[in-house]
Structure 1
Amino acid sequence: MRDDLETVTQRLLDTARAAGADTADALAIAGTSVNVDMRGGALELAERSESTDIGLRVFVGQRQATVSASDLSDRTMQEMAERAVAMAREAPEDPYAGLADPEQLSAARDTSALELADPAPEPDPAEMEAEARAAEAAALAHSGITQVERASSGYGKRRVWIAGTNGFSAGYARTDRGISCIAITGEGTGMERDYDSDVRVFAEDLRSPEEIGALAAERTLARAGARRAKTGACPVLFDERIARSLISHLLSAANGAAVARGASWLREALGEDVLPAGISLTEAPHRPRTAASRLFDAEGLPTAQREIVRDGVLQSYTLDLANARKLGMQSTASASRGVSSPPSPGITNVALTQGDKSRDALMAEMGTGLLVTGLIGSTINPNTGDYSRGASGLWIENGAPAYPVNEITIAGNLRDMLRSIVPANDAREWTSWVVPSLLVEGMTLAGD
């Protein structure tokens, strides 16, 4: 990796300086992707792609511009640098833009301890086809499953290198290996679908395709004969698969870019209760074998574990350098970026405090209410936190599933919802977002 992408980023920096840039940073990404899909017992898709993309951000004083390309020729790099410098000279001044100071940069740059990439060779397409075929067969073995929309096996590898004229230069590789299955029951307007999937950094950690196909079928059959529920107010239990969406709304509101724009219902909320007492939300960027782990951010700053929420109280926003400067704060080493855009704040691995009860135990305590297993669409007011989403799942009576429901809308206010959550103990520890099923005490349901 050092022999190619490191050299590419250094060529970009040298060219930018020669074109008139005061400072610059560069990003190079080389990726490989392999996907195999099965449908109806036949191979529907088998594709492999490779690409290398480069991005260059230049500064002329306090003016910046970003350009990208997928051609590594000297001519293209020269054109990129000249265009970026010309664009920067015409851009408005940004007093908050700029690279990290050298003393801010991460000294740790060897990511091997994080185990971000599986050293095993790229999987054989025949092996991947067999996995997808096994997942589909396992789903179709369940009576009532009329078809499998898609059973898939996938593999990806990315090599990344980041460099800047401030002296930072480091990179890493990532791999991912996944299997998924979407099963269907019923016909016409009575058709229902559900899925199961697993994605890991190391192939040896994957659940079996047979397990994935079988669980997709079981979830789909549980939705058979869905109908609309009655309009009213009730407790809502968000299944573990989708509970992370609630936490994502919290994290979006605590994103420094939104706060700096004034477009967040958590602006000026530091030190305030945003979750119930006893519940914390922690970011842990150094978890081994986890897809979002990283040793340094996209601006070269060292990452570290931090408490976003401690004992229910909001402790910090998620900040890159520019937004930290706007707010008069310190970066949380949370910069993320692609080749065609400047850095912006992003989250790595997060974990929410788990409860001491299972999802079924919370369901029993709920008595009557809604278990949400699927969400579609959304209307979220970023300034007030007003929340409305289409939902489907199971109607609960006497603490047990009574019948499946769909075509309903659930609504509330995120500030109130999040301060009332009761977490279960069923979060998957190997995922980037370790969030269990969440019970929200009261929401408005619109159905019949």
Structure 2
Amino acid sequence: MTDAPSLESLTEALLSAARSAGAEAADAMAVASTSLSIDTRAGALEQAERSEGTEIGLRVLVGKRQACVSGSDLRAETMATMAERAVAMARLAPEDPHCGLADPSQLAKGWDVAALDLADVGTEPEATALQEAALACEAAAAGVSGVTQVESTSAGFGRTRIHLAASNGFSGGYMRTGHMLSASAITGTGTAMDRDHCYEHRIYHGDLPTPAEVGALAGERAAARSGARKPPSGRFPVLYDERAATSIIGHLLSAANGAAIARGSSWLIGKVGEAVLPEALSLTEDPHRVRISGSRPFDGEGLATRASAIVENGRLARWVLDLASARKLGLESTANAARGTSAPPSPSVSNVTLTPGSASRDELLSSMGTGLLVTSLIGSTINPNTGDYSRGASGFWVENGEIAYPVHECTIAGNLLDMLASLTPANDAKAHKSHRIPSLLVEGLTLAGA
């Protein structure tokens, strides 16, 4: 796609409009995106969608007050109006002593976007090619014994270019792409129906599994759920399959988010330097992994991203901070700001990796004896202050270290501090994922089932 005008020129025009409208400082963002998706069902095209557009966003600061505006009209007169409205809004906004741009000395310099390999710069796939891939995916899922119907299959492509500029002198941008295949299959009929799926996403099309592989895996997962029933109630070990294990670490990352810490609503408050995981485990962030969707050369405030530990040798090493949350806490930003065009920056992680274990998932399954293997989670009730945890789950009941039967309609409950302290990781984390988390065995959770 050719940008006319360029994203860089759009951000510069927004900053100029902000200065003319009376802003003391400002930052601007322009995002150009293209997406194409094809859905098939029952061996035929069900839906085809394509979207293409550019969105612009402006944040202005007047003293210690700020406001954000966004739009998709790229005309100069519209940008002038946006800036005038943003400045008027900022003058009426409550003061925030912690808002503001980065000091120029903090800004990223000399990054190498090409080294991150974030974009497949080949030709955009044709709709017919995506349709053929989706149909092949559907056929593979339907061909699995035990699958009664294929709920949906999809193939898609996306490309996003961003550019960020600010009145403190920062200006930078990059492009990323994504190719996607997914299938959802059903086993059983009527009230005995159950489903499962497979979703695959890669930056490069050549890194995707084949449609036949994706469809077959979706079908096999669904067929394995035939005859699912409720498990017994009680206190049992729970093994979170790699697909579900990311959620456990996600709760830890949410509690370590600087915005939650600054609000005083986190069960990790006061625990920097304390043990939150077993001593053998570390949780590291690396925004510079090659060909990984979460990688980025700078954060949403123009600070240089870098690899660092969030949990090191079991102990909480730091919070996840942007500039505002860092200022509130009297700390330095960890370059974790993320943002869109319509809101101020907020803290967010990019790529994280949990130390893998030495055992396979099947070996952990064997060692757990009797308990629950979780493959899917629904709903979430997490007390942000205490870490009390309750989630709906489905998966497989395990007896004598072997899968006995599929289960659904059960609830898992515990406390995240206790759960994290007892984690035993497998060695099955997927290398292509932004969150590289293996299957996790947790001791002694409460199950509510039959």
Quick check: TM above 0.5?
A: yes
Q: Distance in 2 between matches of 1:94 and 1:415?
A: 33
| Residue aligning to 1:66 | 68
Q: Which amino acid aligns with 1:350?
A: V
Q: Which amino acid aligns with 2:163?
A: W
Contact 1:226 1:404 in 2 (8 A): yes
Q: Could you list the per-position Cα deviations for residues 140-178 of structure 1 after superposition, in whole angstroms to 9, with x for gaps in the alignment? A: 111221111111101000000000000000000010001
| Residue aligning to 1:75 | 77
Deviation larger for 69-78 or 8-17 = 69-78
Q: Distance in 2 between matches of 1:315 and 1:431?
A: 23
TM-score using structure 1 length: 0.99
Q: Which runs of 4+ in 1 moved over 2 A?
A: none
Q: Distance in 2 between matches of 1:118 and 1:334?
A: 25
Q: Which amino acid aligns with 1:263?
A: S
- CA deviation after TM superposition for structure 1 residue 268, in Å: 1.1
| Residue aligning to 2:435 | 433
Q: Distance in 1 between matches of 2:78 and 2:421?
A: 53
Q: Which runs of 5+ in 2 are unaligned?
A: none
Q: Which runs of 5+ in 1 are unaligned?
A: none
| Residue aligning to 1:303 | 305
| Residue aligning to 2:255 | 253
- CA deviation after TM superposition for structure 1 residue 339, in Å: 0.6
In the superposition, relative to structure 1, how do residues 2 and 247 fare at CA in structure 2: closer, same or farther (>3 Å)?
farther
Q: Distance in 1 between matches of 2:299 and 2:279?
A: 31
Which one of the candidate residues 82, 85, 88 is aligned to 2:87?
Answer: 85
Q: Which amino acid aligns with 2:151?
A: E
| Residue aligning to 1:358 | 360
Q: Distance in 2 between matches of 1:108 and 1:180?
A: 38
| Residue aligning to 2:423 | 421
Q: Which amino acid aligns with 1:165?
A: S
| Residue aligning to 1:238 | 240
Q: Which amino acid aligns with 2:143?
A: A
**DSSP 3-state at the match of 1:119:** coil
Contact 1:387 1:412 in 2 (8 A): yes
Matched, 1:265 2:284: no
Q: How many residues align?
A: 448
- CA deviation after TM superposition for structure 1 residue 108, in Å: 2.2
| Residue aligning to 2:107 | 105
| Residue aligning to 2:350 | 348
Matched, 1:409 2:389: no
Contact 1:109 1:170 in 2 (8 A): no
Matched, 1:151 2:153: yes
Q: Distance in 1 between matches of 2:319 and 2:188?
A: 46
Q: Distance in 2 between matches of 1:96 and 1:377?
A: 34
| Residue aligning to 2:212 | 210
Q: Distance in 2 between matches of 1:323 and 1:142?
A: 51
| Residue aligning to 1:54 | 56
Q: Could you list the per-position Cα deviations for residues 300-355 of structure 1 after superposition, in whole angstroms to 9, with x for gaps in the alignment? A: 00000000001100000000000000000110000000111000001100000000
Q: Distance in 1 between matches of 2:105 and 2:407?
A: 57
- CA deviation after TM superposition for structure 1 residue 109, in Å: 3.5
Contact 1:108 1:302 in 2 (8 A): no
Q: Distance in 2 between matches of 1:309 and 1:126?
A: 46
Root-mean-square deviation (CA, aligned residues, Å) is 0.8
**DSSP 3-state at the match of 2:291:** coil
Q: Which amino acid aligns with 1:374?
A: S
TM-score using structure 2 length: 0.99
Q: Distance in 2 between matches of 1:222 and 1:149?
A: 16
Q: Which amino acid aligns with 1:341?
A: A
Q: Could you list the per-position Cα deviations for residues 398-443 of structure 1 after superposition, in whole angstroms to 9, with x for gaps in the alignment? A: 1000011100000000000011010000000111000000000110
Which one of the candidate residues 212, 222, 225 is aligned to 2:224?
Answer: 222
| Residue aligning to 1:191 | 193
Identity in percent: 60
Q: Which amino acid aligns with 2:164?
A: I
Q: Could you list the per-position Cα deviations for residues 82-139 of structure 1 after superposition, in whole angstroms to 9, with x for gaps in the alignment? A: 0000011111111111000111100124411101110111001111001100110001
- CA deviation after TM superposition for structure 1 residue 2, in Å: 9.6
Contact 1:108 1:295 in 2 (8 A): no
Q: Distance in 2 between matches of 1:81 and 1:185?
A: 55
**DSSP 3-state at the match of 2:81:** helix
Q: Could you list the per-position Cα deviations for residues 163-204 of structure 1 after superposition, in whole angstroms to 9, with x for gaps in the alignment? A: 000000000001000101101011111001001121000111
Q: Could you list the per-position Cα deviations for residues 236-287 of structure 1 after superposition, in whole angstroms to 9, with x for gaps in the alignment? A: 0000001000000000000000000001000111001110111000000000
**DSSP 3-state at the match of 1:137:** helix
**DSSP 3-state at the match of 1:35:** strand
Q: Which amino acid aligns with 1:147?
A: Q
Contact 1:109 1:171 in 2 (8 A): no
Q: Distance in 2 between matches of 1:91 and 1:402?
A: 59
Which one of the candidate residues 37, 42, 45 is aligned to 2:44?
Answer: 42
Which one of the candidate residues 247, 271, 278 is aligned to 1:276?
Answer: 278
Q: Distance in 1 between matches of 2:180 and 2:128?
A: 15
| Residue aligning to 1:17 | 19
| Residue aligning to 2:380 | 378
Q: Which amino acid aligns with 1:421?
A: L
Q: Distance in 2 between matches of 1:102 and 1:143?
A: 62
